[in-house]
Amino acid sequence: MLSRTAANLYWTGRYMERADFLARLVDATTGLAGLACTYGGELADAWASALAASSGQASYRKLHGELSQPAVVHFLTLDPANPSSLRNCIGRARDNARTVRAAVSLEVWEALNDAWHAVERFGAAGLPSARVSDLTQTARHAVMAFDGSAQRTMMRSDAYWFLQLGAALERGDNTARLLDQKYHLLLPGEEPVGGALDYFQWSAVLRTVSGLPTYHLVYCDEVKPWLVADLLIFNPQMPRSLTACYRDALMFLGQLGEGAVESAPAARLAAATMEGLTRSDIGEVFGSGLHEFLSDFIVDNNRLGSAVAEQFLFPEIPEWSLR
């Protein structure tokens, strides 16, 4: 497969995953902010933390200064000036696929094209708050249509693996950042969450990753930060956990590596991170500091992204051809 094609598919996968994350983040934070008003928390805290989870604080501050719910929602969803807004993510996913149109199935292309036209219809200005959930629902359904059409119609060949690899790396990054935003709320030991607000904070985290029912099913327990972190880091059955993301990434890299196994720096890096996850547990993570653990993970995950780029997406011209 052409390296440029692979790069575009990888980024299509990443941007669609990011769009999905942003839609979920806006939904969950809207819910949380509403509760914050009711239970005496700071509305702005909820949105500050959502901004941080999307790594958009700096550019938000430059564009808007003061935190306000409508401004943050606009920034995260439709703002053309935010390169990582929901609208821009879907637009870029589509542009990337459009440039390599023949590499994806017609159904996948239609899903991306429909996604773009559906989001574009909301315009670029801020939405009245009552319409925000229309937008996030539209985006979430669009991503599901994209995932579903890829799953149902694409050949299991390199194009598919690059699309999925991009999504897996992005998903791991999102989960780690989301969790890192709440680490300061984590209480030592297995203590239950303090007040109603803390409970809703953690519920919001779980909601962002569609994890609330899963949590109840797995732990049969009230929401405890300690267990939330366990679920999102270590549980291989939880599709957005770091472990699950790396298990998937390793599988995709394995599919891509056939034929060129001896020089597979990306797969080696991913295997090392996966081994770290397998050897550790939540007790150890808390012992050495959750924030440090998550920061290290984010750095490693970025390094894996660079290794994928070097190995597949922008390869050096090999020596033999220079003869």
Partner 1 sequence: MTAEKGLQRADAKPRHKPRLGRLRLASSRPPAPAVFDEMCGAAGAPPRAVYAEIRQWLRDTPLDILEARRAQAELMFRRTGITFNLYDGVGDGERLIPFDLIPRVLERREWNVVERGVTQRVQALNAFLADVYGPREILRAGLIPEDLVLGNPQYEPRMAGRPPPKGVHIHIAGIDLVRTGPEAFLVLEDNTRTPSGVSYMLQNREMMLRLFPELAAKARVAAVETYPALLLQTLRSVAPEGRESDPCVVVLTPGVANAAYFEHGFLADQMGVELVEGSDLFVRDDVVYMRTTEEPRRVDVIYRRVSDVFLDPLAFRPDSLLGAPGLFGAYLRGGVTLANAPGTGVADDKAVYSYMPQIIRFYTGREPILDNVRTWRCREPAHLAHVLANLETLVVKEVDGSGGYGMLIGPHAAAAEIAEFRRKLIAAPERFIAQPTLSLSTCPVVQGGRIESRHVDLRPFVLTGAGGLTAVPGALTRVALAAGSLVVNSSQGGGTKDTWVIGD
What is the number of other CB atoms lying within 10 angstroms of the CB of residue 261? 9
Judged by CB under 8 A, does residue 15 bind partner 1? Answer: no
Least distance to partner 1 from the beta carbon of 303, Å? 19
Angle at the Cα of 291 from the Cα atoms of 50 and 309, rounded to 5 degrees? 75
Judged by CB under 8 A, does residue 262 bind partner 1? Answer: no
Least distance to partner 1 from the beta carbon of 20, Å? 22
* CA 92 from centre of chain: 16
Judged by CB under 8 A, does residue 315 bind partner 1? Answer: yes
Among 37, 217, 260, 272, binds partner 1 (CB under 8 A): 260
Among 101, 131, 216, 268, binds partner 1 (CB under 8 A): 101
Contact (Cβ atoms closer than 8 angstroms) between residue 22 and residue 76: yes
Least distance to partner 1 from the beta carbon of 182, Å? 38
Judged by CB under 8 A, does residue 261 bind partner 1? Answer: no
What is the number of other CB atoms lying within 10 angstroms of the CB of residue 231? 23
**Which residue has 């239970």 as its token pair?**
39
Contact (Cβ atoms closer than 8 angstroms) between residue 218 and residue 231: yes
Sign, CA torsion 150/25/58/175: negative
Judged by CB under 8 A, does residue 291 bind partner 1? Answer: no
**Rounded to an integer, what distance in angstroms lies between the CA atom of residue 80 and that of residue 86?**
9
Judged by CB under 8 A, does residue 106 bind partner 1? Answer: yes
Residue 105 vs 295, nearer CB to partner 1 = 105
Judged by CB under 8 A, does residue 2 bind partner 1? Answer: yes
Count of residues near partner 1 by CB under 8 A: 31
Residue 4 vs 152, nearer CB to partner 1 = 4
Judged by CB under 8 A, does residue 309 bind partner 1? Answer: no
For the record, the structure tokens of 74 come out as 């606009």
Judged by CB under 8 A, does residue 265 bind partner 1? Answer: no
Residues 184-243 that bind partner 1 (CB under 8 A): none
Judged by CB under 8 A, does residue 312 bind partner 1? Answer: yes
Residue 109 vs 146, nearer CB to partner 1 = 109
Judged by CB under 8 A, does residue 125 bind partner 1? Answer: no
Judged by CB under 8 A, does residue 267 bind partner 1? Answer: no
Burial of 28 by CB count in 10 Å (0-12 exposed, 13-18 middle, 19+ buried)? buried
Angle between helix 158-180 and helix 225-234 axes, rounded to 10 deg: 160
For the record, the structure tokens of 200 come out as 């809703």
What is the DSSP secondary-structure string of 207-248? HHTT-HHHHHHHH-S---HHHHHHHHHH-TTSTTSHHHHHHH
Contact positions vs partner 1 (CB under 8 A): 1-6, 95, 98-102, 106, 109-110, 113-114, 117, 158, 162, 256, 259-260, 312-313, 315, 317-318, 321-323
